[in-house]
Amino acid sequence: MKLHYVTFLSTLFMVAFSGLHVSAESIQLTDDVEARSLNILREGLVSEEFWPAMHAAEALTLAGYGDEVSKALLPKLAVEKDDQFLCGLARELVRAGDRSKTSVMLDILAGDDPHGYIHACESIYKVNEVGDGGLLRAAMAQEDILNQKLMAAAALGRWGNPEAYVILREYLQHDDLETARIAAWILARIGDGSDIPELRKQLTRATGSASQFFFEHALAMLGDPAGQIALAKNLSHKEAGVRTQAATFAGEAWMTWTKERLEAMLDDEVLDVRVRAAQSLLVMALPQPADKHELITRDVYPTTKEHPRYSEGSIVTLNNGMIVYSNTEFSESWSDFAKAHIVEKHSTDGGRTWSDSSVMQETTGKLNVMSSSLFFINNTKTGEKDLGFFFLKKDSYSDLNAFLRLSSDEGKTFGDPILVTPIPGYHVMNNDRITQLRSGRLLAPVASSPDVKTDNHFKSRCFISDDFGLTWRAGKEQVDYAKRGSMEPEVLELDSGRVLMHFRTQLGHIAVAYSDDEGDTWSTPESWGVRAPEAPSTLRRIPSTGDLMLIWNDTFVDGEGHGGKRTPLTVAISKDEGKTWSHKRPLEVDPDVSYAYTSLTFHHGRALISYYVQKHDEKLISSRFKSIPIAWFYGKE
């Protein structure tokens, strides 16, 4: 051990001299060190020391042994009564691949007993899940429990909430050092280089106190060389708590040059130190984590001679974190009436790479099936969730209907089709269009015509289910508009409980109508004040901020076909429920390419978007995927 430490000090000196703080290369572990590390974690997992056991669970999952963690912790979750321990167990089960256990932490946060509030917020932050964001936004707004406020800000900040960063940076300067150090601990992981000057200032204030190490380690995480030198020294600190924290941060900061010291720490007398050292060694032996600010763009469904059109996609993230991306695969031509079926691909690395495609829904219509919507339906009575797979079945110009197939095993198998549009007509429901209200009611927004060939005028309404998709009825009223009418609608529940319907028009703007009875009847439609060609738009609520996000084609050329080309593709944010828009940013800008039929969902602090891509001089349509950190949308306008 003495030789290791001498070598470590020599390396530390070279790092200080060179200013080098991160190696892009993974470390290489001997078989013995890897085996020792895993043995330490497995022993820790069954330890009677609860939090070291949870740390061992975390490390095993990060090393690729989540199945072992799930097997060990599930029985404990079933019998645990203490809310703080429940948060720890649920957190590690989520990390091990069961996102459904996020509900345990959210339920504790929603409960009347504050005993577990702080742990719930911290655990939700650690697993990067926020639910619909409402409970966390309320927790961040309250002032009674300060650490709860800060941990809620941590979770929301990781999901791009700008207000959370304001709060965290304000509390970094708090008079109470213990409060400031919590903010430092959080900003170490979700902050950036702009936080370094204030952290250095706070370190000067904290030097000699128990809080000193929090600021040193935060600086190390953000790449500050002096902070990394301090962290490296802390790996040998006399206090076990400091060694434990330093060992954790060494791996997260990717300080590969501390490898020998971490290996020596596998013999530490304190279990938690051994666990955290083993974790960092195993993590740094893996490929370096991807840049959290990365903008991911992939043409997941490129066209081929056999399949000249892929369009109308939908994306859903499964319980185990896998992303599923469904799409309509047309054959022979790119016409809406060409042969088509629905296919899917999946990604296990956040959308960077994708599987081969497989058929989700064979053609059952006389012409085709198309336009999928993948949507988890929450049974508000039982708490269970089924994956809903909605699609259109096209038999003729006067016979187009929406159907739903339900899956209780996350898409491995689906039940028989359920008719969503039980009245005659040509019923267009765009891709990725289903909404579930807080009451549990499902709304399927549809634009209908008796015969699209002889009566190409559409009226919009919702088809409604109050039994979680098993049966459907038509809403009482339709929404009409000028020229071709109201087309390709989508609905969203506002904070007030009103339902907003926005739809495509031929008048150079997006139009809206409102319902005060959950989608049955509607107000007189009007312009929304947002210019647009004859093309659909997509609207969602961002979980971490509660703001609305709109994606549409921000253009209009009077007199041109369809009111202009479907480019650019633009995104904007509304902080007042759609009355005004800000943070307008381009997603795509090529003037020679059309972009339309978007889908939008959120996962791990990112917006997952799909849309079709078509060069104006080609009758070929491909389908593109984007993954963008939510913070990006709040950048400079």
Alpha-carbon distance values, 509 to 208, 441, 449, 491, 502 (Å): 63, 29, 21, 17, 10
What is the length of the chain?
637
- Percent of the chain at pLDDT > 90 equals 93
Q: Which token pair is 39?
A: 């043995």
- d(CA 244, CA 200) in angstroms, rounded, equals 22
- d(CA 82, CA 106) in angstroms, rounded, equals 15
- d(CA 536, CA 611) in angstroms, rounded, equals 11
Pinpoint the residues of the chain covered by CATH 2.120.10.10.
Answer: 296-634
- Peptide bond before residue 568 is cis, with ω within 30 degrees of 0: yes
- Per DSSP, helices labelled H in 173-317 are 177-190, 196-206, 212-221, 225-234, 240-252, 259-264, 271-284
Label each residue of 109-147 as H, E or C. Answer: HHCCCHHHHHHHHHHHHHHCCCCCCHHHHHHHHCCCCHH
Give mean pLDDT, residues 191-203. 98
Categorise residue 242: left if φ over 0, alpha if ψ from -120 to 50, beta otherwise: alpha
Asked if residue 13 has pLDDT above 60, the reply is no
- d(CA 283, CA 102) in angstroms, rounded, equals 24
Asked if residue 21 has pLDDT above 70, the reply is no
Q: What is the pLDDT of residues 497-533, one digit of tens each?
A: 999 999 999 999 999 999 999 999 999 999 999 999 9
The kind and range of the H/E element at 585 are strand 582-588
Least Cα distance to 107 among 126, 93, 90, 92 occurs for: 90
pLDDT of residue 332: 87
Amino acid 576 reads D
Asked if residue 4 has pLDDT above 70, the reply is no
Q: Which residue has the higher pLDDT, 624 or 9?
A: 624
Least Cα distance to 332 among 321, 320, 319, 341 occurs for: 341
Label each residue of 310-326 as H, E or C. Answer: EEEEEEEECCCCCEEEE
- d(CA 432, CA 334) in angstroms, rounded, equals 20
- How many angstroms separate the most distant Cα atoms in the chain? 88
pTM of this prediction exceeds 0.85: yes
Beta strands in 267-384 (DSSP E): 296-301, 309-317, 323-331, 339-347, 358-361, 368-378
The kind and range of the H/E element at 108 are helix 102-110
| CA 262 centroid distance within chain | 33
Asked if residue 17 has pLDDT above 80, the reply is no
> Would you report the helix, strand and coil content of the chain in percent, each value rounded to 5?
35, 30, 35
Give mean pLDDT, residues 81-102. 97
Give mean pLDDT, residues 52-69. 98
528-546 burial, b at 16+ Cβ within 10 Å, e below that, comes to bebbbbbbbbbbbbbbbbb
Q: What are phi and psi of 184, to 5 degrees?
A: -65, -40
Contacts 24+ apart (CB under 8 A), 199-204: 199/172, 199/224, 199/227, 200/224, 202/172, 202/173, 202/177
pLDDT of residue 90: 98
Q: What are phi and psi of 404, to 5 degrees?
A: -130, 135
Q: Which token pair is 424?
A: 């005659």
- d(CA 137, CA 134) in angstroms, rounded, equals 5
Task: Grade residue 595 by pLDDT with cuts at 50, 70 and 90.
Answer: very high
- Contact by Cβ (8 Å): 519, 497: no
DSSP letter (8 states) at residue 587: E
- d(CA 542, CA 294) in angstroms, rounded, equals 19
pLDDT of residue 14: 33
- Contact by Cβ (8 Å): 93, 68: no
Q: Which residue has the higher pLDDT, 89 or 619?
A: 89
pLDDT of residue 23: 55
Q: What is the pLDDT of residues 134-159, one digit of tens each?
A: 999 999 999 999 999 999 999 999 99
Give mean pLDDT, residues 447-465. 96
Q: Which token pair is 21?
A: 């703080």
Categorise residue 382: left if φ over 0, alpha if ψ from -120 to 50, beta otherwise: alpha
pLDDT of residue 561: 85
Q: What is the pLDDT of residues 243-281, one digit of tens each?
A: 999 999 999 999 999 999 999 999 999 999 999 999 999
- d(CA 371, CA 388) in angstroms, rounded, equals 13
137-608-433-391 Cα dihedral, nearest 10 degrees: -140
Query: Which of 12-26, 208-222, 544-558 is least confident?
Result: 12-26
Whole-number mean pLDDT of the chain? 95
Amino acid 284 reads M
Q: What is the pLDDT of residues 538-586, one digit of tens each?
A: 999 999 999 999 999 999 999 898 999 999 999 999 999 999 999 999 9
Give mean pLDDT, residues 233-249. 98
- d(CA 615, CA 3) in angstroms, rounded, equals 64
Q: Which token pair is 316?
A: 């859903």
Q: Judge: domain 296-634, CATH 2.60.120.10.
A: no
Amino acid 283 reads V
Q: Where do we find the tokens 């093309």? A: 535
- d(CA 23, CA 223) in angstroms, rounded, equals 11
